[in-house]
Amino acid sequence: MTKFKRILLKLSGESLLGEQGYGIDVKRLNQYAKQIKEVADMGVQIGIVIGGGNIFRGLAGTGKGFDRVKGDQMGMCATVINALGLSSALDAIGQKNRVLTAIRMEPVGEFFNKWKAIEALNNGEVVIMGAGTGSPYFTTDTGSSLRGIEIEADVMLKGTRVDGIYTADPEKDPTATKFHDITYAEVIARDLKVMDISATAMCMQNNLPIYVFNMDIEGNLKKVIAGEEIGTLVHN
Ligand code: UDP
């Protein structure tokens, strides 16, 4: 028995860095692919939104004189590079998958629409959704909320390098304590850096629960799917 039937998995681009300063750590990528296949084999339908921070973030460009919209478009292209990398890693281990993009760029990926995504999920394909929302001034967190709601996922699983949400950044403050669960309203009120406010608000308005957990430990995705409480749940 699995706790969730259909999930939206959000992977940050930054976590693909692994032990590198830039780009994609193939070891990390393969480790993610393996965990994803493991839960796909359990019959779970998996939609994935992947970030691009390991390659380029729009805001970082703005600081160096880039036009914000062009910078964000570069960031969205970065998410597509990561989507293709993950797709290749899944291909290599025999996991059926499909890349859909929010910006038209066939043949790199098919143009996203809700029904195509759901059809692929029902066929047992892992659906990787690149280019975020397709619009500047958003992040892939908002992209994940949007796609999670559109594909009617049971939950958004936010795979990070920390094992949940803390009262403060546990990497900086040793006195920080972890929440077992927390409401969206409290996340916003306490200004906890789980996701940006627009992404959190969107999940709140549409009742999409978020589960934050450490995806960098092999086997953790499977544990979450099996209902083990290893992270933090955000709910209404
Ligand atoms: N981006 C955007 N619109 C979106 C999603 C992403 O413009 O809907 C751009 C934005 O510049 C962002 C970059 O793509 O900084 C990479 O995404 P993000 O920062 O969310 O990646 P992550 O932090 O998850 O690695």
Instruction: Return the domain boundaries, the chain.
Output: 6-235
Taking 90 as the threshold, does the pLDDT of residue 228 lie above it? yes
CATH placement of domain 6-235:
3.40.1160.10
- Select from 12, 49, 129, 140 the residue to mutate for testing ligand 1; criterion: most ligand atoms less than 8 Å from CB: 140
Longest dimension (CA), the chain: 52
Collapsing DSSP to helix, strand or coil, 11 comes out as strand
Helices (H), ranges, 93-196? 114-122, 140-150, 184-189
Q: What is the mean pLDDT of residues 12-39?
A: 95
**Position in ligand 1 atom list of the atom nearest CA 61:** 11
Residue 62, pLDDT score: 84
Collapsing DSSP to helix, strand or coil, 88 comes out as helix
- φ, ψ for residue 45, nearest 5 deg: -85, 130
Q: Whose C-alpha lies nearest to ligand 1, atom 6?
A: 139
pLDDT grade for 47, boundaries at 50, 70 and 90: very high
User: How high does pLDDT run on average in the chain?
Assistant: 96
Residue 107, pLDDT score: 97
Taking 90 as the threshold, does the pLDDT of residue 12 lie above it? yes
pLDDT grade for 61, boundaries at 50, 70 and 90: confident
Task: Give the residue with greater pLDDT, 79 vs 19.
Answer: 79
Taking 90 as the threshold, does the pLDDT of residue 170 lie above it? no
Full-prediction pTM beyond 0.85? yes
Residue 169, pLDDT score: 87
Contacts of 106 by beta carbon, 8 Å cutoff, 6+ apart: none
Residue 1, pLDDT score: 81
Residue 136, pLDDT score: 97
Residue 108, pLDDT score: 98
- Cα angle vertex 84, ends 7, 139, to 5°? 60
**Position in ligand 1 atom list of the atom nearest CA 15:** 25
Taking 90 as the threshold, does the pLDDT of residue 193 lie above it? no
User: Per 3-state DSSP, what percentage of the chain is helix, strand, and coil (rounded to 5)?
Assistant: 40, 20, 45
What residues flank ligand 1, with Cβ below 6 Å? 12-14, 51-53, 57-59, 71-72, 75-76, 78-79, 132-133, 135-136, 138-143
